[in-house]
Amino acid sequence: MSGKIYPVDPAFAAKARVTGEQYESLYAESVSDPENFWRRIGGRVDWIAPFSQVKDVSFDADDLHIRWYHDGVLNVSANCLDRHLTHRGDKTAIIFEGDDPNDSRHITYRELHADVCRAANLLRNLGVVKGDRVAIYLPMIPEAAVAMLACARIGAVHSVVFGGFSPDSLAGRIADSQVKLVITADEGLRGGKKVPLKANVDEALTRPGTTSVETVLVVKRTGAPVAMQTPRDRWWGALVAGQSAECAPEPVGAEDPLFILYTSGSTGKPKGVLHTSGGYLVYASYTHELVFDLRDDDVYWCTADVGWVTGHSYVVYGPLANGATTLMFEGVPNWPDTSRFWQVVDKHKVTLFYTAPTAIRALMREGEEPVRKASRASLRLLGSVGEPINPEAWEWYHRVVGDGRCPIVDTWWQTETGGILITPLAGAIDAKPGSATKPFFGIKPAIVDTNGQVQEGACEGNLILTDSWPGQMRTVYGDHQRFVETYFKTYPGAYFTGDGARRDADGYYWITGRVDDVINVSGHRIGTAEVESALVAHPKVAEAAVVGCPHDIKGQGIYAYVTLKAGEAPSDALRKELIAWVRKEIGPIASPDFLQWAPSLPKTRSGKIMRRILRKIAENAPDQLGDTSTLADPSVVANLVDERLIR
């Protein structure tokens, strides 16, 4: 089970930022003397007032606190912009590649600095002050990065909401953090299709709890007519144009919040993951530089949307803090055709390319021709993120996309971790397809068995982290207790990742997937509880249980069991209606792939749904149901097995 090995390419290693020997010695130092290690690395950021404290952390649930560099003062936007102006002012900061292949442009650091200053001045003039929350609900256009950096410049806290989320999901996020201002666009544009962003905001703001919003700024993207409500709604373009291109950066404490990003958990509503300023920036920029072996002349492209953490750390903050050229892509991999990614690579001479296994699997299905049509000669390193990459997809990525000459970094991390934690460094660590390999500097993973005992050597179990790193989330916004309960109660003294993992005899980590009630659909986290509550909100539904199932392209699909209210009859029309209902309630990414009618659900005598059984039925493994004798009514299982939708 140790898998095939792809050794480090000596030619790559000869020029790499980190070699094998350096990895070993730096890793040893980083975990034995984190204080000194991170003191040195903290110097990569420009501080307005230097830090004297480095690490102040306790993972003890009764005294949980995580602080890094906490007496330091900085400004994140100044680190991403101002400090590059002297030497890199005319370097391209952002390459924008629009949905339409004829729509692209370059924005230099100097231009981006001016754009961010204007936007920051605008926010200030609209009454946004340090600590206020601003929601960003935009497509992948440069204004999204400008809006994030403008918030950072004045110390406001952004909450980016993925443009694919529904008005209800947006409203929930706005209400949870009492957002003062929303930045959106008239419409989004993806794969030639329009997304009614402004109309969604209008609808969201009719929901309870959203009256904190005073202003909605609207970026003109498609020029479609949209309803503007005065005085609430204002056009971004006209207002920013009138602002000064200079804006003094606000001094911000290292532990002041930078952003909130909502993510699904196993229970309840999405949690507002809170990241702070100093440690986050140190960690995002440091990992970006080393994991991607960054050089000044690289053209770096991460295909993630800014609505996800990958877009925060590795489209915007990491690359810009490093003075890199980062590509923002508005479109999708298969439009106008399935060669689009590789056309973009050739067009902009992309050297570093970072995408998700789901995209690789979808493109793999189209064969090699669409890839081979493009030269891809500029590529020198490939990355993967979001879910386990199956070895077949890894091999194809390596052989076809990278022509067998580009190393692959399979990077494991989470919204909560702020940056990459387990990954190969291409010049230092031999790759094994399907394994995220070894911990990054300062990261102490451990594997525990079902009793919570830390295991040694080759083993399999739940993945925990026994020490902190600067990019770690600090709290759940507005609910610190939930932070403690979710991550620090299961295994006292450690952070629980929610993932299972195996460690092989070479000390390589293989992430096996979520061990909680979270489904990883195309690299996006969906809480089963969220889909269930959307389903039961439908007037005809009595009860619902949702589990993950295998899916060739998405990695995992959503499998829903639905019990209708008495008197309601199952039908294909109702099935379609319920799937559309979930789409509307949460967003297209949460649409069930399978919906099975369940006359009743398997429950314990205390009324708890036995998901283990439902998961096995959805996996088409009815012979592995295990013990069903503890069910209140074991006979319900036979019907569900007979009617299962995957065979």
| Given 38, 412, 477, 594, the residue binding ligand PRX (CB under 6 A) | 412
In SS3 terms, 600-623 reads as: CCCEECCCCECHHHHHHHHCCCHH
- Answer yes or no: is 522 a known binding residue: yes
526 pairs with which residues across the strands? 519
| 519 CB burial (10 A radius; 0-12, 13-18, 19+) | buried
Question: Residue 191, annotated ligand binder?
Answer: yes
**CA 454 – CA 464 distance, rounded (Å):** 9
The contact pattern for ligand PRX, residues 553-592, with x = CB under 6 A and - = no contact, is ----------------------------------------
Cβ–Cβ under 8 Å, residues 155 and 191: no
Exposed/middle/buried for 188, CB within 10 Å: 0-12, 13-18, 19+? buried
Q: Closest separation between CB of residue 573 and ligand PRX, Å? A: 34
Between CA 136 and CA 141 the distance in angstroms is: 12
Residue 99 sits in the site that holds ligand PRX (CB under 6 A): no
Cα–Cα distance measured from residue 511 to residue 413, given in angstroms and rounded to the nearest whole number: 10
Q: Both tokens of residue 460?
A: 């399999």
| Residue 437 Cβ vs ligand PRX, minimum distance, rounded to whole Å | 10
Q: Out of 499, 516, 517, 593, which residue is the one contacting ligand PRX (CB under 6 A)?
A: 499
Min dist. Cβ of residue 512 to ligand PRX (A): 8
Radius of gyration of the chain (CA): 24
- 592, 531 contact by CB (below 8 A): yes
> Using CB under 6 A, which residues numbered 2 to 41 contact ligand PRX?
none
Kindly indicate which of the ranges 52-60, 162-170, 287-295, 508-516 contains the residues binding ligand PRX, using the contact rule CB under 6 A: 508-516
DSSP class of 248: P
Closer residue to ligand PRX, CB minimum distance, 30 or 287: 287
CA distance 553 to 210: 37
Residue count at the site for ligand PRX (CB under 6 A)?
23
By beta-carbon proximity to ligand PRX, the closer residue of 148 and 511 is 511
Q: Which of residues 513-542 bind ligand PRX (CB under 6 A)?
A: 513-514, 520, 524-525
Residue 239 near residue 266, CB atoms below 8 Å: no
Check whether 583 is labelled as a binding-site residue: yes
Q: Tell me how far, at minimum, the Cβ of 550 lies from ligand PRX, in Å.
A: 15
Shortest distance (Å) from residue 198 CB to ligand PRX? 26
Q: Does the annotation list 159 as a binding residue?
A: no
Place of tokens 């952002």: 94
Cβ 273 to ligand PRX shortest distance, Å? 8
3-class SS letters over 213-228: CCEEEEECCCCCCCCC
| Residue with Cβ nearer ligand PRX (136 or 309) | 309
Rule CB under 6 A: is residue 262 a binding residue for ligand PRX?
A: no
Q: With contacts defined by CB under 6 A, name the span among 9-17, 143-151, 250-258, 412-420 that binds ligand PRX.
A: 412-420
Which residues ranging from 279 to 318 are in contact with ligand PRX (CB under 6 A)? Answer: 309-310
CA distances from 302 to 285, 328, 590 (A): 14, 8, 23
Answer yes or no: are the C-beta atoms of 570 and 596 closer than 8 Å: no
Closest-CB residue for ligand PRX? Answer: 415
Q: Is 498 in the site for ligand PRX (CB under 6 A)?
A: yes
Q: Is 575 helix (H, G, I), strand (E, B) or coil?
A: helix
Q: Known binder of ligand: residue 514?
A: yes
Where helices occur in 252-297 by DSSP H, the ranges are 278-291
Of the candidate spans 1-9, 44-52, 67-75, 409-417, the one that interacts with ligand PRX by CB under 6 A turns out to be: 409-417
Per DSSP, the three-state class of 69 is coil
- Footprint of ligand PRX on residues 414-453 (CB under 6 A)? 414-415, 436
**Residues 615, 609: Cα–Cα separation, whole Å:** 11
Return binding residues for ATP. 386-388, 410-415, 499, 514, 525
Return binding residues for Mg(2+). 536, 538, 541
Binding footprint of ligand PRX on the chain (CB under 6 A): 263, 309-310, 385-388, 410-415, 436, 497-499, 511, 513-514, 520, 524-525
Return binding residues. 190-193, 310, 334, 386-388, 410-415, 499, 514, 522, 525, 536, 538, 541, 583
